[in-house]
Amino acid sequence: DAKTTQPPSMDCAEGRAANLPCNHSTISGNEYVYWYRQIHSQGPQYIIHGLKNNETNEMASLIITEDRKSSTLILPHATLRDTAVYYCIVKAQGGSEKLVFGKGMKLTVNP
Amino acid sequence: SQTIHQWPATLVQPVGSPLSLECTVEGTSNPNLYWYRQAAGRGLQLLFYSVGIGQISSEVPQNLSASRPQDRQFILSSKKLLLSDSGFYLCAWRHRTGGNGGYTFGSGTRLTVV
């Protein structure tokens, strides 16, 4: 599975949109982009995933570039409860059972 | 709806004592089940996964073992705990058919070996 690169941390003001970047320049054609987050002392929470089209659900939007080498997770109106470590993961459907978590990115939403 | 249960939430055990952590999933059949560990200040590491009853795959050689006695039950065990076994243990599941869906994690067990 391809590796991802995320900045170590980011701050965002409450109520503003949070745009979380992720680079995955070695992504293969059959690999999906997954986003999870982990709030302190809790298990990771699935947010969204996509292959090549932009995706939106009740939690967030996922924008994947046309060449699929990078993506952005958008939290449209960040709240204090969105403070967490966000993980961008690429994984092939039906591939290895490993869901490999990197170091992720700490998002701090400030009042 | 599907739910995943882990217990206990916290555990303090002496070195050399045994360990048994249990995870159960409700509302689905034939799930893939996983045990992850997160050491303090570090990332999540996959320890074991299971695609069926009695089928266990180990990702990292260690002092731990896993068993799946029933379809929706996954147990993490140790005969003798080490200090290095301390960490945050997470159980997860996903549909066996995989599809495009994500993994669902339990709330975790924080284990401190003293």
- Residue from A62, A99, A103, A106 to probe the interface with B (highest B Cβ count within 10 Å): A99
Q: Report the C-alpha gap between B94 and B28 in whole angstroms.
A: 9
Could you read off the pLDDT of B27-77 as tens digits, one per residue? 988 899 999 999 887 788 999 999 999 999 998 877 899 999 999 999 999
CB crowding A76-108: b at 16 or more within 10 Å, else e = eebeeebbbbbbbbbbeeeeebebbbeebbbbe
- Cβ neighbours of residue A76 closer than 8 Å, sequence gap 6 or more: A17, A60, A61
- Burial level of B107, CB count in 10 A (0-12/13-18/19+)? middle
Q: Report the C-alpha gap between A74 and A17 in whole angstroms.
A: 7
- Tell me if chain B has a CB within 8 Å of the CB of A41: yes
Set of chain A residues whose Cβ sits within 8 Å of the Cβ of B100: 32, 49, 51, 93
Instruction: Quote the pLDDT of residue B74.
Output: 97
Could you read off the pLDDT of A1-33 as tens digits, one per residue? 668 999 999 999 999 999 999 999 999 888 899
Could you read off the pLDDT of A21-77 as tens digits, one per residue? 999 999 988 889 999 999 988 999 999 999 998 999 999 999 999 999 999 999 999
Instruction: Quote the pLDDT of residue A2.
Output: 64
- Residue from B68, B105, B112 to probe the interface with A (highest A Cβ count within 10 Å): B105
The DSSP secondary structure of A34-80, one letter per residue, reads: EEEEE-TTS--EEEEEESSS-EE-SS-EEEE-TTSSEEEEEETT--G
Instruction: Quote the pLDDT of residue A98.
Output: 75
Q: Which two tokens stand for residue B89?
A: 């243990």
Count the residues in chain B: 114
- Tell me if chain B has a CB within 8 Å of the CB of A100: yes
For residues B13 and B30, which has the higher predicted lDDT (pLDDT)? B13
pLDDT bin (cut points 50, 70, 90) of residue B114 is very high
Q: Report the C-alpha gap between A17 and A25 in whole angstroms.
A: 25
Rounded mean pLDDT, B12-28: 96
